[in-house]
Amino acid sequence: MPESEDRPGGQSEVPQRGPARDARTGGAAAANRINQQTKWVDLQVKQAIERGEFDDLPGAGKPITGLGTQHDADWWLKQLVEREHITVLPLSVQLRKEDAELDDQLDRLASEDEVRRTVEEFNARVIAARYRLPEGPPLITMPRDLEESLTAWRVRREERRRHQDQMRRRLAEEDRPRRRDRWFRRR
């Protein structure tokens, strides 16, 4: 189009002189860097496609979930909670759940000091929850008696040891070759 002709919008075309300039700063160097960076990124993507790095991605051939719905600012947080199976419970419910699982947790501990420390930490969380403003269901979980918890842990530990000893004896008896009685053999 010649320079004298007008464009459809009523603007005449003005030829650019010199290197391209960045619209924000007016600097030619910044515009050149941005242009080179986009070329470099495009080249990297093209090479990755040629190497096949995008071929077997999870979700390939499946529709993108949530596409076309309203924008949610916390979409990443919701996906994290779903992917990692994170549950956020009110403190009273969380303490009830911990109380129900505490004996199993104590049984996995090896020493009495660890059991004592775990029960004391649990009791501290229960007492601290009692002094907070209630959120969610009421807190009905009571602190555990430390000595009763230790006694119950010792009893369960002894039962486990006895059971393990019995299992070892059974396995040892099964592994031992059986002796045949001599009166059964004929010569």
Say how far apart CA 107 and CA 129 lie, in whole Å: 25
Residue 136: domain span: 91-174
Residue 105 lies inside a defined structural domain of this protein: yes
Residue 118 lies inside a defined structural domain of this protein: yes
Q: How many residues does the chain have?
A: 187
Residue 80 lies inside a defined structural domain of this protein: no
Residue 35 lies inside a defined structural domain of this protein: no
Between 186 and 113, the higher pLDDT residue? 113
Show the DSSP H helices in the chain as ranges. 28-51, 75-84, 91-107, 112-130, 146-175
Q: What is the SS3 assignment for 62?
A: coil
Q: Which residue has the tokens 């529709």?
A: 63
User: Which 8-state DSSP code applies to residue 184?
Assistant: G
54-95 confidence digits (pLDDT tens) = 888 888 888 877 777 777 888 888 888 888 888 788 899 999
Do residues 150 and 176 touch, judged by C-beta distance below 8 A? no
Residue 67 lies inside a defined structural domain of this protein: no
The two structure tokens encoding residue 65: 């979930």
97-129 confidence digits (pLDDT tens) = 999 999 999 999 989 999 999 999 999 999 999
Tally of domains within the chain: 1
3-48 confidence digits (pLDDT tens) = 444 455 555 555 555 556 656 666 777 778 888 888 989 999 999 9
Between 162 and 13, the higher pLDDT residue? 162
Per-residue pLDDT, 17: 56
Say how far apart CA 76 and CA 15 lie, in whole Å: 46
Per-residue pLDDT, 25: 64
Say how far apart CA 115 and CA 92 lie, in whole Å: 22
129-141 confidence digits (pLDDT tens) = 999 988 888 999 9
Residue 102 lies inside a defined structural domain of this protein: yes
Residues 6+ apart with CB under 8 A from 109: 115, 118, 153
Residue 184 lies inside a defined structural domain of this protein: no
Residue 127 lies inside a defined structural domain of this protein: yes
pLDDT at 166 over 50: yes
